[in-house]
Each structure stands twice: as structure tokens, then as C-alpha cells.
């Protein structure tokens, strides 16, 4: 696995316009993003021989290949666990390229979520499915724990009890993300920052989570082109090297309902990923200029900071209160606005932002960006990346 480090690169990124009602099918959104990523890299569809996506994506690899004019495929893969798959798609693509299974792989994710299937709505049948996940959910669904917001709220309440965190601490995360989005023209909330008072006044979804603690539902698509670092250096854009990539799950893992662990206040799966990323890259928290953290719900941003070693247990609220996540702070988080501010494309738009920061083309460009940490969905088996400027 360590042989993967530095051998592959992201050579192109592409995205649709993020909206609440795209007026296009998910296949159209996926194809648009894939073609945009190939154009960004200076490649043609015929150059692609591999595709990777999420198990939840509605578009099969062969459908995307037909729609975009991609020909023969020698590699295709689907990564499990919802948003936890985001960085895992790049891991799978990089492994295929590094081992010679494929030459150029495109990772994609498309959502017709706001105008189509709503992810945040209750699913009363989730506890009755004849599967291992259905068995897990049968302990929770009959009692009303039916949505991601409800599952995270249970975790957040325990975190508050253990460390003295408050709803205002969660709110400061939302305020920072919306401030970043307000100066990003691609963001759904461009020009629309919020105050802490507005966060506190927003309606309850599931206590202690307000509406503004929850990411938006979006229509859109994002695609990434992964190839060898050597080949990427001859393409249109400066390559962004995949320095480290990892997946992980923790002991006692369930799908956002890991309530039976001895300690409910952490995200052990992110700790597994973080340790592997630091080991593979040879870097540590102090070497990262910015972090792109999966922010589907604000409490999990705090816990990720702790699991990844940016602060100690229970210290993330202090880091946020000090402005540490802001553009000018100690660790700017999600300069694009994240899923709370830019769009919710299952974290793939965060990987694209990391590439832009390393290229020096981001809307809210930071100075001296050499290494960026990116994380995928939390509360589920997850994944992460360390992306670096080509040296």
C-alpha cells in the first residue's frame, strides 16, 4: 500500500452548476461532470479505461461510458457507505493506476437530490429490510430514529454532555462555512453569510441540531480524472499528487448508529483513516495548510478535528471559538464553503476544492498551500486523502 504514495495524481476536475432544481437527469449531470473533468485535463473520452463511483449513485458505469463516448473499460468499481465513499473512489482509482490495471480512471458522483429523491426524509422501511443493515436499524427505527439528522443528534448530545460543548459551538462551524461560501461564486449560498444569532434562531430539526447545523440537499455532479503522476505532468493542468489515501472502519461500527461503543463521543473510523494517512504520507497535522472536512452536520466537524490530531479530545470547541477554522485562522477548513455552504455532492466537491487550492485557482485561495487533507463521510466507514503539490 505504501507504494501508492506519490505515484498517481488528479489530472482533471469537473462539476456541474450546483442548484436546487437542475432540470436534468442524474445521468445528464454525471456525463456533464465527466466531460468537464476530461476537458480540464486535456483528455478525450477515448483516453478513459476505468470508472469509479458510489454504490448509491443511480448511474451505472456502462451508462456513463455510453453517454460520454468512453469506449472499452478495463476497470470499474463502486465504493460502499454513502458519503464515506468519496475519498475511497480516488483510492480505488489510484490503486488501479498504480498496479497497471488501468491507465486513466474517472471518479464521478451525481445527485438529483433536491428535485428528485430526498436523502433527508424519513424511511420507515429501513428497519425491516432483510439485510445486516436492516437488522441494525431494527433497534432504532421503531423508536423514531429514522433520519441522518436524528442519528447525529444522539451523538451530539453525548458529546455536549461529555465535553461541555454548546449549540453555539456547533453554530460557529456553520457560520464559518457560510462565510466562506459567501465569497465563492460557485456556491449555492454565494453572497448569503449567516450570523450566530441567525443560526440559533433557525428551527429545530432534531435537538440539539438546528436547521443551519444540517447540510443542504443539492442537484449536481462532480468528476475527477486520476492517472499516473508521470503522465499527468504532460497534461493540461499542474498535477495534484495523491500522497496518501486510506479507508477505515472502527470496532463496533454501524451505519451512523454506533451507539454501543464504550465511548460515543469519538469517530474511531476517522482515527483509523487519519493514522494511515499520516503514516503513508510521512506528514502530520502541522504540515497541512488547510483541511477539507466532511461537514454534513456541524458536530462531526468538531470530532474530526480531534480524531485527526489537530487538537486534543474535547478541545475542538475552543479551536472554533478562537476562529481557528476561518480563512485567516490556524487551520482554515472548507474554504469553498463545504457541504453546508457550497453544495452537498457527497463530499466529491470537497476533493475538487483541494485540487483547486493546490493549483492556486480557488475562489478563496490560501497562500503557500503544499498539502491538503480531505475527509469523507463520518459516522460510517469512511476514507480520506492527503493531496499535495507536485514537487
Give the catalytic positions in this structure.
294, 344
Give the span between the Cα atoms of 354 and 89, in whole angstroms.
15
Please report how many Cα atoms fall inside a 13 Å half-sphere around the Cα of residue 179, on the Cβ side: 17
Q: C-alpha 211: how far from its chain's center? A: 20
CB 302 within 8 A of CB 169: yes
Three-state secondary structure string covering 304-355: HHHHCCCCCCCCHHHHHHCCCCCCCCCCCECCCCHHHHCCCCCCHHHHHHHH
B/e letters for 261-271, b = 16+ CB within 10 Å, e = fewer, are eeeebbbbbbb
Residue 227: Cβ within 10 Å count: 28
Asked if residues 226 and 106 have their Cβ atoms less than 8 Å apart, the reply is yes
Burial of 230 (0-12, 13-18, 19+ CB in 10 A): exposed
Q: How far is CA 150 from the centre of its chain?
A: 20
Q: 20: buried, middle or exposed (CB in 10 Å: 19+, 13-18, 0-12)?
A: middle
Q: How far apart are CA 170 and CA 175, in angstroms?
A: 9
CA end-to-end distance (rounded Å), the chain: 21
Give the whole-angstrom CA distance, residue 130 versus residue 221. Answer: 31
Burial class (CB in 10 A: 0-12, 13-18, 19+), 63: middle
Which three cell numbers, joined as nine digits, stand for 86?
A: 468519496
| Integer Cα distance of 71 and 95 in angstroms | 21
What are the helix (H) ranges across the chain? 26-41, 61-68, 86-98, 132-137, 148-163, 167-182, 196-201, 229-232, 268-281, 298-307, 316-321, 338-341, 348-359
Amino acid at each position: 500500500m505504501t507504494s501508492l504514495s506519490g505515484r498517481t495524481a488528479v489530472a482533471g476536475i469537473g462539476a456541474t452548476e450546483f442548484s436546487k432544481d437542475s432540470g436534468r437527469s442524474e445521468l445528464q449531470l454525471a456525463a456533464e461532470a465527466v466531460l468537464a473533468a476530461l476537458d480540464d485535463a486535456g483528455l478525450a473520452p477515448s483516453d478513459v479505461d476505468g470508472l469509479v463511483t458510489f454504490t448509491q449513485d443511480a448511474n451505472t458505469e456502462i451508462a456513463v461510458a455510453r453517454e460520454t463516448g468512453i469506449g472499452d473499460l478495463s476497470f470499474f468499481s463502486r465504493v460502499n457507505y454513502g458519503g464515506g465513499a468519496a475519498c475511497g473512489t480516488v483510492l480505488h482509482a489510484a490503486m488501479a493506476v498504480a498496479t497497471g490495471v488501468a491507465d486513466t480512471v474517472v471518479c464521478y458522483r451525481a445527485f438529483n437530490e433536491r428535485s428528485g429523491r430526498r436523502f433527508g426524509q424519513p424511511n420507515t422501511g429501513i428497519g425491516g429490510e432483510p439485510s445486516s443493515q436492516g437488522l441494525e436499524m431494527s433497534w432504532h427505527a421503531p423508536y423514531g430514529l429514522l433520519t441522518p439528522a436524528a442519528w447525529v443528534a444522539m451523538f451530539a448530545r453525548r458529546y455536549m454532555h461529555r465535553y461541555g460543548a454548546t449549540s453555539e459551538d456547533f453554530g460557529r462551524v456553520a457560520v464559518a462555512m457560510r462565510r466562506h461560501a459567501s465569497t465563492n461564486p460557485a456556491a449555492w449560498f454565494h453572497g448569503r453569510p449567516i450570523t450566530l444569532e441567525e443560526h440559533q434562531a433557525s428551527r429545530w430539526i432534531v435537538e440539539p441540531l438546528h436547521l443551519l447545523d444540517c447540510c443542504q440537499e443539492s442537484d449536481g455532479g462532480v468528476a475527477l480524472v486520476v492517472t499516473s503522476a508521470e503522465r499527468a505532468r504532460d497534461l493540461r493542468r499542474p498535477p495534484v499528487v495523491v500522497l496518501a489515501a486510506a479507508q477505515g472502519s472502527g470496532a463496533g461500527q454501524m451505519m451512523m448508529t454506533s451507539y454501543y461503543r464504550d465511548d460515543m463521543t469519538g469517530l474511531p473510523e476517522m482515527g483509523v483513516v487519519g493514522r494511515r494517512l499520516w503514516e503513508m504520507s510521512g506528514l502530520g497535522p502541522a504540515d497541512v495548510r488547510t483541511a477539507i472536512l466532511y461537514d454534513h452536520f456541524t458536530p462531526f466537524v468538531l470530532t474530526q478535528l480531534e480524531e485527526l490530531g489537530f487538537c486534543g479530545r474535547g478541545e475542538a470547541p475552543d479551536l472554533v471559538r478562537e476562529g481557528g477554522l476561518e480563512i485567516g485562522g490556524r487551520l482554515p477548513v472548507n474554504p469553498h464553503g463545504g457541504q453546508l455552504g457550497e453544495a452537498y455532492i457527497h463530499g466529491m466537491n470537497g476533493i475538487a476544492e483541494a485540487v483547486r487550492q493546490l493549483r492556486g485557482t480557488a475562489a478563496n485561495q490560501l497562500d503557500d498551500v503544499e498539502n491538503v487533507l480531505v475527509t469523507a463521510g463520518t459516522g460510517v466507514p469512511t476514507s480520506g486523502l492527503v493531496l499535495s503539490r507536485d514537487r
